[in-house]
Amino acid sequence: MDVYTDVLVIGTGVSGLYSALNLKDNLNIIMISKGKIDECNTALAQGGISVARGVDDVDLFVEDTLKAGAYKNDVTATRILAEESIENIDTLCKMGFDFDRTNDGLSYTREGAHSINRIVHYKDKTGKELEETLLKQVSSKKNITIFENCTMLDILKKGNACAGALCTREGVQVSIHAKVTIMAAGGIGGLFRNSTNQKILTADGVAVALKNNIKVKNLNYIQFHPTAFFNNNLSDRKFLISESVRGEGGKLINCNGNRFVDELLPRDVVTKYIYEEERNTHCSNVYLDVTFMKEDFLKNRFPTIYEKCLENGINISKEPIPVSPAQHYFMGGIEVDTFGKTSMENLFAFGECSCTGVHGANRLASNSLLEALVFSKRGARKINNDISTIPMINLDTPSLDYNEKYYKNLNNKIFIESLVKVRGDIKNELVNC
């Protein structure tokens, strides 16, 4: 089957939805999601979204981001992130995002390696609220159509110009031809045994880039979150205990009950200390202790975490939470400029599958949703300006010589092989390795 559209957006997380909302209403837009529409990491985000506390905070916000990223960040992109943070949070407020508030305005919390409180949030369900807010806006747009359970297997291309994507939906091959294609296909956690990510997110965007010689960057930069709920079941997605729990005062203790680290150090540093502590104490996990906080506060501030731990037999107001690190975020990805433009003509990439360079070697907490907002809006504006000069490339419908399973295995193999070349040390963390 052949379908034609002005813009194809691969992914319905924050980067896909927000880019579509920032495209002009007179463009036809098709969005696809591999699973259900909200089966994405965006809907799982707990902690919140970073935002500069006014223009006076921009320099400090940039410095915090660079420091956490071990100064491997792209400085220009990082400055754009901080400078454009405020207008994007304002936009979300106008869309009706229900941020937590105090009498003075928005409520700002703190997370590891931020010098001040600058994370806006909705309880511990920021991502769910964000996904729902954006989906509501998208569903009111007549020019946007969403195909759920539609998997991109490869891009369509002519020379170095992208012309859409080859997809499969309920066993039927669909070629979606587009003047501009946006890759917003998210992270890589589905390829890891222990990850906080949705299982269906298997680095498809980056794999397809590798396969088509589109430039990628920083494949070795993978973030392990220090505090995922510990259990022995490897087939489970690991439930995250948000950094904001430590931001509100939660203490890390080892299995002998002793504190061993400053909880608000950058994620990679805390993760390293936890692994060391687990080795030294011969215990498979450490604990996050919030038992000194009032039960009412915990129930109200962290309702999801409270409930989820209770389901797993832990009342967090009475006993410490067993935690251990798990794969969480991919700082590398498809190389893009500050408008999300890739090295292939007519192909943009936003969100976790892209690499703007803002995170350097280690992402500062709550900078991911912000990065997706800032750069997908910038990219959408560039597409709005340029699209009238981009013709639809006429391609013969490619015949799918191989089945869906073949493509999926091939994509996984391409990504894993490239990853292991630069990060041999994490080979054992990967599934099927």
Ligand X SMILES: Cc1cc2nc3c(=O)[nH]c(=O)nc-3n(C[C@H](O)[C@H](O)[C@H](O)COP(=O)(O)OP(=O)(O)OC[C@H]3O[C@@H](n4cnc5c(N)ncnc54)[C@H](O)[C@@H]3O)c2cc1C
- Between 192 and 287, name the residue whose CB sits nearer to ligand X: 192
User: Does 78 interact with ligand X (rule: CB under 6 A)?
Assistant: no
User: Does 144 interact with ligand X (rule: CB under 6 A)?
Assistant: no
Q: Provide the mask over 242-281, with x wherever binding to ligand X is found by CB under 6 A and - wherever it is not.
A: ----------------------------------------
The minimum distance between CB 398 and ligand X, in angstroms, equals 16
Q: Provide the mask over 202-221, with x wherever binding to ligand X is found by CB under 6 A and - wherever it is not.
A: --x-----------------
Among 186, 247, 332, 357, binds ligand X (CB under 6 A): 186
Stretch that binds ligand X, among 8-16, 55-63, 88-96, 98-106 (CB under 6 A): 8-16
- Between 243 and 254, name the residue whose CB sits nearer to ligand X: 243
User: Does 44 interact with ligand X (rule: CB under 6 A)?
Assistant: yes
Among 185, 188, 326, 374, binds ligand X (CB under 6 A): 185
The minimum distance between CB 355 and ligand X, in angstroms, equals 12
Stretch that binds ligand X, among 12-20, 60-68, 216-224, 283-291 (CB under 6 A): 12-20
The minimum distance between CB 396 and ligand X, in angstroms, equals 22
The minimum distance between CB 247 and ligand X, in angstroms, equals 11
Q: Provide the mask over 345-384, with x wherever binding to ligand X is found by CB under 6 A and - wherever it is not.
A: ------xx-------------xxxx--x------------
The minimum distance between CB 371 and ligand X, in angstroms, equals 8
Contact 46, 305 (CB under 8 A): yes
The 3-state secondary structure of 362-424 reads: CCCCCHHHHHHHHHHHHHHHHHHHHHHHCCCCCCCCCCCCCCHHHHHHHHHHHHHHHHHHHCH
Catalytic residue among 246, 267, 301, 363: 267
User: Does 65 interact with ligand X (rule: CB under 6 A)?
Assistant: no
Encoded tokens for 383? 């597409």
Q: Which residues contact 104 (CB under 8 A, 6 or more apart)?
A: none
User: Does 42 interact with ligand X (rule: CB under 6 A)?
Assistant: yes
- Based on the residue annotation, tell me whether 381 is a catalytic residue of this protein: no
User: Does 15 interact with ligand X (rule: CB under 6 A)?
Assistant: yes
- Between 276 and 307, name the residue whose CB sits nearer to ligand X: 307
Number of amino acids touching ligand X (CB under 6 A): 42
The minimum distance between CB 50 and ligand X, in angstroms, equals 7
The minimum distance between CB 257 and ligand X, in angstroms, equals 27
- Between 47 and 322, name the residue whose CB sits nearer to ligand X: 47
Stretch that binds ligand X, among 41-49, 101-109, 251-259, 318-326 (CB under 6 A): 41-49
User: Does 181 interact with ligand X (rule: CB under 6 A)?
Assistant: no
The minimum distance between CB 118 and ligand X, in angstroms, equals 12
User: Which candidate, 333, 311, 330, places its Cα nearest to that of 321?
Assistant: 311
User: Does 285 interact with ligand X (rule: CB under 6 A)?
Assistant: no
The 3-state secondary structure of the chain reads: CEEEEEEEEECCCHHHHHHHHHCCCCCCEEEECCCCCCCCCHHHCCCCEECCCCHHHHHHHHHHHHHHCCCCCCHHHHHHHHHCHHHHHHHHHHHCCCCCEECCEECEECCCCCCCCCEECCCCCHHHHHHHHHHHHHHCCCCEEEECCEEEEEEEEECCEEEEEEEEECCEEEEEEEEEEEECCCCCHHHECCECCCCCCCCHHHHHHHHCCCCEECCCCEEEEEEEECCCCCCCCCCECCHHHHHCCCEEECCCCCECCCCCCCHHHHHHHHHHHHHHHCCCCEEEECCCCCHHHHHHHCHHHHHHHHHCCCCCCCCCEEEEEEEEEECCEEECCCCCECCCECEEECHHHEECCCCCCCCCCCHHHHHHHHHHHHHHHHHHHHHHHCCCCCCCCCCCCCCHHHHHHHHHHHHHHHHHHHCHHHHHHECCC
Q: Name the maximum alpha-carbon separation found in the chain.
A: 67
Among 88, 151, 271, 324, binds ligand X (CB under 6 A): 151
Among 19, 21, 29, 46, binds ligand X (CB under 6 A): 46
Contact 363, 386 (CB under 8 A): no
Among 5, 33, 65, 88, binds ligand X (CB under 6 A): 33
Binding site for ligand X (CB under 6 A): 10-16, 32-35, 39-42, 44-49, 126-127, 151-152, 184-187, 196-197, 201, 204, 240, 329, 351-352, 366-369, 372
The catalytic residue positions are 267
